[in-house]
Each structure stands twice: as structure tokens, then as C-alpha cells.
Amino acid sequence: MTLSDPWSAAVARLAPAAAALGLLVDDRLARRAHAASALPIWSNGRRPNFWPDLDVRLLLTAMHRQMTLAQSLDVVARLLGAERAPSRSAVHRYWQALDRAAAL
């Protein structure tokens, strides 16, 4: 990933704040979040409403299996604002998709 890449820009924006919370947001995580869009884990082909928001997607991917849903939504609201926080069920479905991807 390069600096002109939107994923690298998202990593640069989020890494310091995420590190303060004990979360690792780096290029490796960005590649994992990006790769999830092409995996055969989306049974209906529809992605969550937060999908175009790379910052949210990076944070949710970093928090997968690291904290509870409620904690993750609180982190997103604190770092990015409550208006950008997805619904609890959307996060749960995304994390389930990540679990299915890990099983492949």
C-alpha cells in the first residue's frame, strides 16, 4: 500500500488514536479489511451500510475478537463520532463474516 492509497491514509489517521486504546491499526490490518470485500462470505452479495467508510471498517476489523460489541461501538463513537457508528447488528454481522473468512 502506498501513501496515495486511501487505505494507507486511513491507517495514518487512525493509528495514533487506536494505539492509545491498545489497538493495532497498520497496513497488514488494512489489507485484511480490504480483502474481506472479495471473499465468498457474503451470501447475498450485499455489504453493510458502513462499508464505504474505511475508518469504520478498519476499526471494526481491529476490534474483532478483541472486545465486546458494546465496547467497539463506544470506541467508534468516541474516535469518529456517533453519527458514523454502525448499528450493533451490522457490527455483529460483519464480525460473523470475518469469522467465516477465517474458516476458509
- Within 10 angstroms of residue 75's Cβ, the number of other Cβ atoms is 21
Q: Is the pLDDT confidence value at 3 over 60?
A: no
Q: Is the pLDDT confidence value at 1 over 80?
A: no
Give the burial class of 46: count Cβ atoms within 10 A of its Cβ; 0-12 exposed, 13-18 middle, 19 or more buried.
exposed
**The pLDDT of residue 43:** 77
Dihedral of the alpha carbons of 32, 36, 39, 44, in degrees to the nearest 10? 170
Q: What's the start-to-end Cα distance of the chain, in Å? A: 24
